[in-house]
Structure 1
Amino acid sequence: MPRLVDHEQRRREITTAARRVIARGGLDAATFQTVAAEAGISVRLIQYYFGTKRDFLVATFLAVVAEAGQRFEQPLAAMGADPAPREVIRTILSAVLPLDPQRHQDALVLGAYHAAALTGGIIGPEDTIGPARYLFPIFTQQLRLHRQLESSTTAEELDAQLLVLGGSGITQVVLTGSATPDEALALLDRLLDRFL
């Protein structure tokens, strides 16, 4: 009797292997051959599931982003119906900071994608801008609620972008070893103090 294959599970195994390869060697290291060796499968299997290298790389990026989103969805749901805006923003930003080995690896992977988007090639800015753009309106809404405004102004929109960019900056200092995870959280709290 033929063995049933869970295709989504197989895709996750491949993108997980790709994440390890990219975290170690950057985006250029993620070839079909290196990822196949990391996953213990054939190159043809990766091609079967993803087709082109671009499709494969975009799927890996989206897998990292989806996992980051899952890290803050559950804590947000546990906050109840009317959470404090500061806690919403802090929960989201702390979920993506490289505070443990998995998030550290994911931050390295996302950094590799952003570097590739800046230098051109197979991955462009349009492939990597989505996560930040997703957070901007969420943070804008939370700032509006905190400031008890009927509608958002340009100030809330700009402050929301600064919060996201501040979180990215904190990520970078942790990745370079200039800050510990505890120091990163202290920086995050200081950032939030400035806006909330």
Structure 2
Amino acid sequence: MPKKVDHHERRVVIAAALKRVARDQGFDEISLRHVAAEAEVSLGTVQHYFRTRDELMAFALTEIRHSTAARISAAVAGLGATPDPRDLLEATVMQMLALDEPRRSDVQVALALLSHTAVHPEVAATLHDETRAMLDFVADMIRTAQPTGRADPRLDPELTATGLLAMADGLNNYLLVGHYAPDRAVAALRAHLDLIFPG
């Protein structure tokens, strides 16, 4: 009986190979042929799952977001059954920062791929739903905290969430090039959260 192929798992393996190529050899070396060699599969196999490099890159970005979401879930679970909204938000953003090697690798590849989407709107469009979901998630945490009296009711949750996520992206740029040490980035994040959650 023929072995059943897990098509999603095969796509994940190929996307992981793309991440390694981008991380170790640079963005310019990303091609379906290079990714196939890294994944130790044929070029035809890669093309079966991804017609173009852009399709593969969009999927790889989604996979990075999934791994980040898994780290966030684990960090939040460690806060207990009824965590404080500020602690929830800190735990969430900390998992998005390049503070150790697994996170640094994901951030490095994500930024390289995102720079490509800046000049390829059709690729960027595929990421809209994930971006919106993260923004809504952070905004909801800010909104949840407001009735407790610990957050300024004048803060617009969605605009505040937008600024916080943009700050995280900026910190990652400085972390990757070595301008900020991890402890500096963490201190900056906590100082910003103090503005959102005074007292």
**TM superposition score category, shorter chain reference:** 0.7 to 0.9
Distance in 1 of aligned mates of 2:140 and 2:130 = 16
Correspondences of 1:174-189 after superposition (within 5 Å): 174-189=175-190
Aligned residues of 1:113 and 1:128 also touching (Cα < 8 A): no
CA contact (8 A) 2:62 2:127 kept: no
Q: Is the 8 A contact 1:170 1:184 kept in 2?
A: yes
- Kept after mapping to 2: 8 A contact 1:136/1:161: yes
Q: Percent identity?
A: 27
Instruction: Tell me the distance in 1 between the aligned counterparts of 2:144 and 2:189.
Output: 20
Aligned to 2:118: 118
Distance 1:154 1:139, change over 3 A: same
Task: Name the residue aligned to 2:100.
Answer: 100
Whole-Å Cα distance in 1 between the matches of residues 99 and 8 of structure 2? 28
8 Å contact 1:117–1:128 — kept in the other structure? no
CA distance in 2, matches of 1:154, 1:97: 24
Q: Which residue of 1 aligns with 2:142?
A: 143
Trace 1:1-196 onto structure 2 (pairs within 5 A).
2-120=2-120, 123=123, 125-148=124-147, 155-196=156-197
Letter in 1 for 2:169: S
Q: For residues 138-184 of structure 1, what are the alpha-carbon distances to aligned partners after superposition, in whole Å with 9 as ceiling and x for unaligned?
A: 2222222322179x876222111111111111111101111122222
Give TM-score, length-normalised by structure 2: 0.85
Distance 2:121 2:28 in 1: 11
SS of 1:119 mapped into structure 2 = coil
1:89, 1:168 → 2: CA distance? Answer: 15
CA deviations over 1:99-154 (Å, ceiling 9, x no partner)? 1222111111111122112223763x32344443222222222222322179x876
Q: CA deviation at 1:27?
A: 4.0
Matched letter for residue 145 of structure 1: T
State the TM-score, normalized to the length of structure 1. 0.86
Which range moves more in the overlay, 37-46 or 21-30? 21-30
Q: Secondary structure at the match of 1:99?
A: coil
Could you list the runs of 5+ residues in structure 1 that have no partner in the other structure? none
Aligned-pair RMSD on alpha carbons?
A: 2.4
How far does residue 74 in structure 1 lie from its aligned partner after superposition? Answer: 2.4
CA offsets, 1:17-76, max 9 Å, x none? 101112234444221111011112211111122233332222111111111111111222
Paired residue total? 194
Q: Which amino acid aligns with 2:8?
A: E
Please state how far the C-alpha of 1:3 moved relative to its aligned partner: 4.3
Q: What is the DSSP-based 3-state SS (H/G/I as helix, E as strand, rest coil) of the residue aligned with 1:147?
A: helix
1 CA distance for matches of 2:137 and 2:74?
A: 16
The 1-side partners of 2:116 and 2:97 are apart by 21
Q: Quickly say closer, same or farther: Cα 1:193–1:32, change in 2 above 3 A.
A: same
Letter matched to residue 137 of structure 2: I
- Structure 2 counterpart of 1:55, one-letter code: E
